A and B are shown apart, each in its own frame.
Chain A
Amino acid sequence: MSVPRAQDLQGLFLSVGGIRVSVKRAGDGPPLLYFHNAWGFQWDPFLQGLAQRYTLWAPELPGTGDSDPHDIFQVDSLWDLVVLLGDVVDALGVKGAALVGHSFGGMLAAEVAAHWPDRFRRLVLLAPLGLWRADLPITNWMALPPHQLPHPPFLVHDPSAPAVQAHLAALQEGDTSLARARRIWALGCSAKFWWPIPDRGLRKRLHRVRLPTLVIWGREDKVIPVGYAQEFVQALPQARALIVEGAGHLPHLERLDTVLPAVVDFLGGGDGGP
């Protein structure tokens, strides 16, 4: 089958509760919902790999990406946001989708799955935010000197690794001041739902996620320490962890060769899967 490229991404807008929500779509196959991280939606080789097997739907957090930057002020709380994402799933008409989220998007995926476990088939959490242990400090990626905005070096384990270099080059390709503003603004928008401590009570809700769940973490994650993998696995009813050696906070990009097959194997159902 053909490999989906960035230019094959489709953009659509849904009117949900008076907000014009931007959704990206790519690929073909069983439905897969992807929630982006705090930096906003970004096409990458991991999503490209998923889109070869699934129909990828990626809603953008209001305020970020192609949405109106001011729409963030229409989403007042995490509760608003979770309900909005539920409405998006309804509006897309996808049922029994796989749900995948990275970092901040992992926290949202866990919240949405906890609210509506019956709407989804399987859940993949890539280094999710959302739990807090005082002895496992999470690095605040909002406290960056200007020259490190928006992408700080501590996101990855080895900044010189070819996969990381390629990802950074792809990010810089469209790096106009407007694109940079978009990424910085996305950090500000997403922080509305976790600042100043990324604990909005998710632990109390994780028991509701009655879904087979794969929790993936980079062993060398300098943003959200790998110790949180066990926290999630213990709190989730049907979860197991995959710890990825030699990877930081972007395990799916730093070790695409490990993570993509593991995710496809876990989710199944796609052309390339079991």
Chain B
Amino acid sequence: MFHLMPYRDLPEDFEKRYHSVWVDPPWGELADPERVGQYYNWTLDELLYAARAGLDGVCTNEHHQNAYGFMPSPNIMGAYLAKATNGLPVAVIQMGSTPPTTNPPIRVAEEYAMLDCISGGRLIAGLPLGTAMDVNFCYGVPPIEQRERYREAHALILKAWTSREIFPWNGKYWKLPMVNLWPRPIQQPHPPVWLPGSASPTTWDMAIDNDHCYCYLSYYGWKWAQGMVDGYWERVEAKGKDRNPYRLGFLQLVAVSESDAKAEEEYSRHIEYFFHKCLHIFGGYVYPPGYHDWETLVHMLRRDAMDRRRVFQLGDKRYPDFVREGNVVAGSPATVRDHLKEAIRRLRVGNLMVLLHIGSMPHGLTLKNIDLFAREVLPALRPIWDDEGWENRWWPQRLLERRAAPAGAQAGRGG
């Protein structure tokens, strides 16, 4: 289960009155720290509930100056989750600490090693490039440096985990005289690495070339993602790699209730809140010049894909539109099962991440959603790839062994 931790009580006219949900939403007008404390506690409770309900992983992420997600340090959340899920067959998925803005980036390697040690080897290490909002506008990195910093930080983190010798790092952005990580992760040679992205071919290449899992974190759902994901799989094949579905992670909004009608009654306003308010992001913050590398920029301008957010007019759409277009998979357990099965097969996704808390969804309803998903939907999704016999090489080995032992054929999956 993935959690963004949105502010659940933004004003009704938020998207009309305010410029952007990200970078410049005024704290003093919109937020109350007492309430935010409640959100953090609910968020942790919801993720823990999901872990106990049988989902395979709990997933936090890093954002800054953002009213739809304010876990500036996902590892603080992850530390609690790692400790509290000890004894459960659950991966702690950090999606994660952002290397280009962590100074020096071995801090990511250190904190992830801590989480891996605390959790007994259950960490999945997400290494995100980071959005322009977080990295450029909030943390001040020049957009054109972001990918270069990312590549350097990625190489440094992997070397810090795996090198047996103390080594000096003479990079362009970081210079460290004696890298000698304490602690090191339990998982060897290092925890599974997932690279979250938003469909940039450069990040695909980095994932494929380094044998990481690529995670497409789109909020627009599986139908919208098909073209992008097809591009990823074409790239995988072009590079001569196998079509192991666990090479791909995908984030999907999911809302389950007793019936389709009940789902609409219970979830529609929270889903509209998410798309109308949480995704009310000023267009000028999304792709500042230099954020895309040259090849991607040329590619996007040829296809005019940079204007795609304008085409996708969120404000005009309502719950039935979001369901019809697959932005959210919502309805009765049978409906959700059918749609997710189709989504998983069409996208060829092995590590499905589900966003089960959406927008303004209250705590009680979130628990219900988690509960129904775990009991009525997840069991039908688990065996989807079993007939093809793939191994999830991007999952903590101990969890795979543990699942394989008592339950027979069950393989670990994101959830």
Contact = CB atoms under 8 A, between A and B. Distances in A.
A197 B143 CA distance: 13
Contacts of A76: 172
B142 A195 contact: yes
A195 B136 CA distance: 9
A76 B301 CA distance: 27
9 contacts: A72-B144, A142-B288, A142-B289, A146-B283, A177-B301, A177-B302, A188-B289, A195-B140, A196-B141
A181 B137 CA distance: 21
Given A147-B307, A181-B297, A181-B298, A188 B144 contact: yes
A181 B288 CA distance: 12
B142 A146 contact: no
Interface in B289-321: 289-291, 294, 297-298, 301-302, 304, 306-307, 309-310
Contacts of A143: 137, 282, 284-285, 288
Contacts of A177: 298, 301-302, 304
Nearest to A180: B301
Contacts of A187: 289-290
Interface majority SS (helix, strand, loop, mixed), chain B: helix
B268 to A, nearest CB: 29
A146 B182 CA distance: 45
Contact of B144 (A144, A150, A189, A196): A189
Given A142-B143, A144-B284, A191 B294 contact: no
Given A146-B306, A195-B136, A195-B142, A188 B290 contact: yes
A184 B282 CA distance: 18
B145 interface: yes
A181 B301 contact: yes
A181 B298 CA distance: 6
A177 B282 CA distance: 23
Contacts of B309: 146
B14 interface: no
B297 to A, nearest CB: 5
Contacts of A197: 140
Interface string B125-142: 000000000001100111
A185 B294 contact: yes
A192 B142 contact: yes
B294 A70 contact: yes
A145 interface: yes
B143 A146 contact: no
3 A-B pairs with least C-beta separation:
A188-B290, A145-B283, A187-B289
A134 interface: no
Contacts of B110: none
Q: Which of B145, B284, B285 has the most CB of A within 10 A?
A: B284
Nearest to A141: B289
B265 to A, nearest CB: 36
Contacts of B18: none
Contact of B307 (A72, A146, A184): A146
A185 B297 contact: yes
A149 B298 CA distance: 14
Interface in A172-220: 177-178, 180-181, 184-189, 191-192, 195-197
Given A186-B289, A189-B290, 9 more contacts: A72-B144, A145-B283, A149-B289, A178-B298, A184-B289, A188-B289, A191-B290, A192-B290, A196-B140
Contacts of B304: 177
B66 to A, nearest CB: 16
A146 B289 contact: no
Interface in B331-372: none
Contacts of B9: none
Q: Which of B137, B285, B294, B298 has the most CB of A within 10 A?
A: B294
Nearest to A73: B148
B142 A191 contact: yes
Interface in A122-171: 142-150
A149 B145 CA distance: 20
Contacts of A49: none
A180 B142 CA distance: 20
A191 B289 contact: yes
A30 interface: no
A192 B310 CA distance: 28
A4 interface: no
Interface in B164-218: 172
Contacts of A150: 289
A191 B301 contact: no
A188 B284 contact: no
A69 interface: yes
Contacts of A185: 289-290, 294, 297
Contact of B288 (A72, A73, A188, A189): A188
A187 B292 CA distance: 12
Nearest to A149: B289
B219 interface: no
B287 interface: yes
Contact of A195 (B143, B148, B287, B310): B143
Given A143-B285, A146-B306, A184 B144 contact: no
Contacts of B145: 192
Nearest to A150: B289
A197 to B, nearest CB: 8
B233 to A, nearest CB: 26
